[in-house]
């Protein structure tokens, strides 16, 4: 069993913030990816569930909830860099 500490929570929040991928069209972080997960292997932290990743689906489909359309994802730093006109 994973012991959840304040430091671990802080590290997870930082990782989430620094490693964001966003929609290349609108910059939204409200995106999803189609993948296989093990439904019986997960941990819940602060109301968010993290599942054991089992593998990608061959078509690598991403969805942006804000554009309500299929999306291409980019790292947050790429989006910020591309949109600093």
Domain ranges for the chain, please list them.
10-41+57-82
Q: Does pLDDT of 72 surpass 80?
A: yes
Tokens 């929570």 belong to residue: 9
Query: Please, how many CA atoms are within 13 Å of residue 53, restricted to the half-sphere of its CB?
Result: 6
How confident is the model at residue 14, as a pLDDT? 66
Phi, psi of 55 (to 5 degrees): 155, 160
The whole model's pTM is what? 0.60
In DSSP terms, which residues pair with 54 in a beta bridge?
A: none
How confident is the model at residue 12, as a pLDDT? 67
Question: For the residues of 49-62, what is the DSSP string, one character each?
Answer: EEEEEEEE-TT--E
**Which pLDDT tens digit goes with each residue over 47-60?**
888 888 887 777 77
How confident is the model at residue 54, as a pLDDT? 84
CA Rg value for the chain: 15
Q: Tell me what the mean pLDDT of segment 14-23 comes to.
A: 76
């Amino acid at each position: 069993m994973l012991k959840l500490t304040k430091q671990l929570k802080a590290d997870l929040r930082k990782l989430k913030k620094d490693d964001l991928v966003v929609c290349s069209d609108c910059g939204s972080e409200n995106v999803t990816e189609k993948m296989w997960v093990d439904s019986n292997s997960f941990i819940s932290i602060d109301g968010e569930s993290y599942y054991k990743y089992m593998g990608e689906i061959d078509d690598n489909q991403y969805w942006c909830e804000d554009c309500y359309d299929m999306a291409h994802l980019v790292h947050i730093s790429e989006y910020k860099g591309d949109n600093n006109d």
